Amino acid sequence: MQYKISKGLLKERGKFNSRELAVEKIEPLKLFGTFLAVFLLSRVVIYINKEDIVGMAPFGLAFLISMLRTKNESKVLFCSLGAILGYITIGQELGNSAIYIITTLITLMTFYVLNKRNKYIGIKSVLSIYFLVQIINSVLINKYDLSASLFVSLIYTGVVIPIYFVIRYGLDCFENYNTNYYFNIEELISIGIVFCLIIGGIGDLSIFNIHLREIFSILFIISIAYVGGAANGSAIGIAMGLILGISNGAIVECVGFYSVLGLVAGLFKETGKIFSLLSAITIYIILSLYSKGSIDNGIVEILIGGAGFLLIPNRILNCIETEMSTESKNEDLIELHMNQIKTEFSERIEGLGEVLNNVSESVANLSTNEVLLYKDRSTALVNNLADRICSDCKMCNNCWNTQFNQTYSCFEKIIRGKEENYSVFPAELEKKCMRKYELLGEVDKLVLSMNAEAINREKLEEGRKIIAEHMKTMADNVGRILYDFKKDISMCTDLEKTIRRELNKNSVQYKDVFCFTDKDGKMKVKVNMSNCSGCRYCSKSVLPVVNSLVKRPMMIGKDGCSINPNNKDCTVTVREMPKYTVSSYVGMRVKEGEDYTGDTYNFGNVANGKYLTILSDGMGSGPEASRESKMTVDLVEKFINCGFGIDTALNTVNSIMTMKFDEDEKFSTLDMNTIDLYSGKISFIKVGATTSFIKRGKEIIKISSNMPPFGLVDKIEVDSIDKRIKNGDVIITLSDGVLDVDKSKIGDSEWLENYLIKAGSNPKDLAIDIIEESKKLNNGSIKDDMTVIVSKVQALY
């Protein structure tokens, strides 16, 4: 039987992705690691009587039992070989090592037999094998009586059980390495005990009387203490001391030395690797002097182990710290959840944009087929005309039954003539029609009615196209809003820890601290604390601590303290102090004969450390112009305060305002400038607005643009004019009612430039004086709404 297999499928199956290749490379390393681990574990001996080499070595067997759960033949085989080899190497140190070798061989053979039948050999089966081998050894080799053999075998077997669970627990935890799993202290200690046992398996191996086990023990303890702190360091030190102490008979001394070593190295972790190591060496020397009276024994080992610790790359230490630190994993998990929420929200917003696009396309495609429409309309007109004129005529039967085609064609010619503004009455119809003048009169009425319907239909078609274009623009703006939303903030966890520690050191009461860098790279610190009832506890206690740590000028945010209405807690935001501050003053005059001004303005600090000045001039004057300009200012300001980009804000506002203004053909201008109070960059954006000025001493800088006002175009191409401000600069923003004193010279600013050269720089005086000067040039009259905003820049440091 032949099967057809596509060539593409074979190619697909023949490919290995990078993950599969990585797994293939890692698997041999895992097998070697398993072999080495069980080899060393098998060499760890618990002596009952060291002189008679009586003891037990259950660790390799316990590791093998733990590995049986994987049902992986390769792992079990390598584990068994490592255990057998390990037990062989301690044959001279342990008289009953053959028991473990025989148990391992029987377990391996049983595993293979049962595995072929898809069955599992569990801990009970292995312990039963071990128990029987122990009884046989006690009765036949050691010549114990049966009751003594049962008792001894039961003790030996019982010791394996807790060791198995400790090793199994540690291996299960190690499987969660490099995941988002949170290790608790018990799991970390279990993993640490397994590594301590592995190091203990090195035994008394030495080179030039330098003991390798002590070197690796010190290296491991200092490394864990450095990345995990004093608690983890001392815990691992105790475990290592117990394991080595049981082997050499000096439990108290080993536990004391290694636990204190881990404790001190962990306490000094914040000082860096070198000082953490020096502190460990110092305490080791002190303990040696007090306990042994000299520092000869072990000093070489701790120096070599310390050198090895210094050579460990920080990247590896950071990986270990990440696994041990619940806080680090929690931060990563929070960031992951935030990104998932952001992705979910983004998908919904993108869906809204797609819906708007689809609706826009659907509305735009609702255009009528003009050819079919004309044919249907022509047929309807002829039928209508025939019903009105010919239905009760004596010649109706002759015209519409006998000569239908000729009559129908004549009626079409008459209607077409009226539509094209010329009069025609076909000769064929002239000969037989008895109601010529009635027919022509009805044609006039029908054509007039038809033209009115066509005009309404064209208006509807035009309105439909406008709506479709507006919806398309709104969909584009949704995309821009989404882009602004996706800009990230980064959390400053190290600074947050430092601030917490310093607040505690200075006895500052707080509940939570959150440090982050916003999308503009500015650092912010949010501190949550109990309400101080207006005592300015944040300024007196929190701000000095943050200033001392950040090493840059910081200040309480413009909103001061934010009180949670539910629990009355206070949240204060400490942010970087801007380099510049701006003070502004506005002068206004209403057009003569009006009660309302058509100009709307606003100025002040906005989000992200910027200072916004905005002025809108509604076309015309009075309440209607005022409403238009106020709507423009409010919308733009709200978008910017929410952190959206200028392009997004202006195009969204343009779409909204255009849909409104199309009704009465009214428009609105916008004159806006934003000052980055940190860098000193000022950006001018003028949507149909008049010239602005920067007064720098005697130098006058003109700022102008040719952008049309809101409502004239479907999409605004933002033309930003960027400058750099200096200390003492004065920015003048004004409406066209101030500048255009001579209607024959619209936009001419020469008079104002000359005036500014001689004028002072006080914002209040300058704003009033400019309006008075403009009024003076207008012969004392106010022909249009006048608004002048004068802002002065001052450097803080």
Hey, where are the domains in the chain? 17-175, 183-324, 370-483, 491-576, 580-795
422 φ/ψ angles, rounded to the nearest 5 degrees: -140, 150
pLDDT tens, residue by residue, 242-272: 888 877 767 888 888 888 888 998 888 888 8
At residue 743, the 3 state secondary structure works out as helix
Q: Which of left, alpha, beta for 211 (phi over 0: left; psi -120 to 50: alpha)?
A: beta
CATH class, 580-795 region: alpha beta
Kindly state the average pLDDT of the residues 49-72.
77
At 301-329, the pLDDT tens digits run: 888 888 888 898 888 888 777 777 666 66
Mean per-residue pLDDT, 651-662 = 63
Residue 375's pLDDT band, with cuts at 50, 70 and 90, is: low
pLDDT in tens, 755-782: 999 888 899 999 999 999 888 888 888 8
Is a pLDDT exceeding 90 seen at residue 76? no
Helices (H), 175-250: 185-200, 212-248
Q: Choose between 726 and 30: higher pLDDT.
A: 726
Amino acid at 91: G
Say how many CA atoms lie within 13 Å of 85 toward its Cβ. 12
Q: Smallest Cα–Cα separation from 681: which of 733, 636, 721?
A: 721
> What pLDDT shows up at residue 51?
55
* The pLDDT value given to residue 1: 32
Look at residue 70 in the predicted model and tell me its pLDDT: 79
**Residue, of 792 and 9, whose pLDDT is higher:** 792
Tens digits of residue pLDDT in 156-177: 888 888 888 888 888 877 776 6
- How does residue 2 score in pLDDT terms, banded at 50, 70 and 90? very low
pLDDT for 788? 94
Read off the pTM.
Answer: 0.51
Mean pLDDT of the residues in the chain: 78
Residues 6+ apart with CB under 8 A from 732: 692, 693, 694, 695, 756, 766, 770, 788, 789, 790
- CATH architecture of the domain 491-576 equals 2-Layer Sandwich (3.30)
> What confidence tens digit (pLDDT) does each residue in 455-511 have?
777 767 766 766 776 677 677 767 766 666 666 567 777 788 888 888 888 888 888
pLDDT over 60 (residue 39) = yes
Q: Summarize the confidence of residues 133-146 as an average pLDDT.
A: 81
The answer to whether residue 373 scores a pLDDT higher than 60 is no
Is the pLDDT at 192 greater than 70, yes or no?
yes
The encoded tokens of residue 637 equal 């300001």
Q: What is the pLDDT of residue 11?
A: 38
Q: Which residue has the tokens 């039961």?
A: 154
Q: pLDDT at residue 82 above 70?
A: yes
pLDDT value of position 658: 62
Q: Position of tokens 């079990």?
A: 76
Residue 254 in contact with residue 242, Cβ under 8 Å?
yes
Q: Give me 503's structure tokens.
A: 């607040």
Query: For the chain, percent helix, then strand, then coil, each to nearest 5?
Result: 60, 15, 25
Residue 602 has pLDDT above 70, yes or no: yes
- Residue 585's pLDDT is 94
Residue with tokens 């909103």: 559
- Measure the CA–CA gap between 370 and 215, rounded to whole angstroms: 94
**Alpha-carbon span 793 to 678, nearest angstrom:** 12
Q: What is the pLDDT of residue 725?
A: 93
State pLDDT tens for residues 512-568. Answer: 888 888 777 778 888 888 877 777 777 778 888 888 888 778 888 766 677 777 877
Residue 582: is its pLDDT beyond 90?
yes
The percent of residues above 90 in pLDDT, for the chain, comes to 8
Which has the higher per-residue pLDDT, 7 or 493?
Answer: 493
pLDDT of amino acid 251:
80
How many other C-beta atoms are found inside a 10 Å radius of the C-beta of residue 154? 13
Per-residue pLDDT, 730? 94
pLDDT confidence of residue 794? 93
Residue 703 has pLDDT above 60, yes or no: yes
Give pLDDT tens digits for 605-629.
887 788 999 998 876 666 777 777 7
Q: In CATH terms, is domain 183-324 a member of 3.20.20?
A: no
Q: How far apart are CA 728 and CA 315, in angstroms?
A: 50
The pLDDT of residue 459 is 67
Tally of CA atoms within 13 A in the half-sphere of 698 that contains its CB: 0
* pLDDT value of residue 194: 84
pLDDT of residue 201 exceeding 70, the answer is: yes
Tokens describing residue 291: 């306990």
Q: 460-469, 517-526, 659-668, 688-697 — which is least confidently predicted?
A: 659-668
- Helix or strand holding residue 499 (H, E): helix 493-505
Higher pLDDT, 335 or 303: 303
Residues 6+ apart with CB under 8 A from 520: 608, 609
